[in-house]
Amino acid sequence: MESDSEFDVIARYFNRPAPPEMLGVGDDCALLPVSHGFQIAVSTDMLVQGEHFFPDVDPAHLGHKALAVNLSDLAAMGARPLACTLALSLPAIDHAWLKAFSDGFHALAKQTHCPLVGGDTTHNPAGVVISVTVMGEVRRTHALRRNAAKVGDDIWVSGVLGAPDIALRLLQGRLPSNPELLAATRQALEQPMPRWRFGQHLVGVARAALDISDGLLQDLNHILTASHCAAQIQFDALPMAPALAGLAPELQQAAMLAGGDVYELCFTAAPVRREQVQAVARQYAVPVSRIGSLVQGEGLRVVGPDGVDMDVLSYGFDHFKHGITL
């Protein structure tokens, strides 16, 4: 990409005035203030064309999602968004694409008070690569770590499960064409809304948390490993996305237990915190479900609708199985 074009792209699509307390786009570094007694939480997620999104995806949705998946990581730590940076590799300068992409990105940045304060823009003939870094702040020692769960804790999830996986299967042709089902699930895949406010207010209420980017079982397993405990889940307590009603039970189960790209929070909290969890959930209009509890030992049991343990090993522990894992 010749340098004139690169600067033009940055100026037109990415340079926005930073809040007065920050130095944003235009210098060698952005400068951010940090509140006394807080830590910076930093996370980066990349989206690669063909691996994480289809080349023809709506660029406005892609801009939204590139930031959303990163904000979800901040939410999972209980951190408040401060600012973000965007590294973008493009095969060509396509103004219609850049306008829609940047509009989608800035709209979510504005809504979540997470301004774009820097980045890098390069040429890449192989396709679009997007790398976003978010920075947030969280009170020292208050972040929701994966290793903080305790035996006896309740296990909770926000929102509903399963829709993004069904949309992905439809778009990849792994399920027979079904325009109605795609219409009902696609938004969950392409425009997830991170739990950015709810996550912050779980600080002091929840103990451990993470977001379900790789599937409930696989992600919950990270908490179990880090916190040295086991989990028992009631399948019937899992919140199923309404669009999945009517699908074959095996498909519902696979989508809910192993489907990735959910960007809901899975968290643990002591049973004495139940009322508080519900109060925070009500305050931010986030549905929450208590799906099981942590027990002593190792591993993960899912008690099926018939009261018999489900075969969890067939779900969620092989996320390269299907090629594209959005």
In the numeric block, which tokens belong to residue 110? 């504005």
Q: Which stretch binds ligand ADP (CB under 6 A): 112-120, 135-143, 208-216, 225-233?
A: 112-120
**CA 105 – CA 14 distance, rounded (Å):** 9
- Residue 141 CA to its chain's centroid (Å): 23
| Count of residues near ligand ADP by CB under 6 A | 13
88 forms part of the interface with ligand ADP (CB under 6 A):
yes
- Helix, strand, coil tally for the chain in percent (to 5): 35, 25, 40
Element (DSSP H or E) covering residue 9: helix 3-9
- In the chain, the amino acid numbered 63 is G
86 forms part of the interface with ligand ADP (CB under 6 A):
yes
59 forms part of the interface with ligand ADP (CB under 6 A):
no
121 forms part of the interface with ligand ADP (CB under 6 A):
yes
Provide CB contacts within 8 A for 195, sequence distance 6+: 72, 75, 158, 159, 211, 263, 264, 265, 284, 286
**CA 198 – CA 220 distance, rounded (Å):** 19
4 forms part of the interface with ligand ADP (CB under 6 A):
no
Element (DSSP H or E) covering residue 39: strand 38-48
**CA 171 – CA 73 distance, rounded (Å):** 26
Provide the mask over 8-27, with x wherever binding to ligand ADP is found by CB under 6 A and - wherever it is not: --x---x----------xxx
193 forms part of the interface with ligand ADP (CB under 6 A):
no
CB nearer to Mg ion: give 27 or 298: 27
Helix (H, G, I), strand (E, B) or coil at 326: coil
In the numeric block, which tokens belong to residue 249? 């039970």
CB of 76 to ligand ADP, least distance (A): 24
Residue 10 touches which of ligand ADP, Mg ion, none (CB < 5 to 8 A by kind)? ligand ADP
Q: Which stretch binds ligand ADP (CB under 6 A): 111-119, 222-230, 256-264, 307-315?
A: 111-119
CB nearer to ligand ADP: give 52 or 169: 52
CB of 19 to ligand ADP, least distance (A): 15
94 forms part of the interface with ligand ADP (CB under 6 A):
no
CB nearer to Mg ion: give 94 or 120: 120
Q: Residues interacting with ligand ADP, by CB under 6 A?
A: 10, 14, 25-28, 86, 88, 116, 118-121
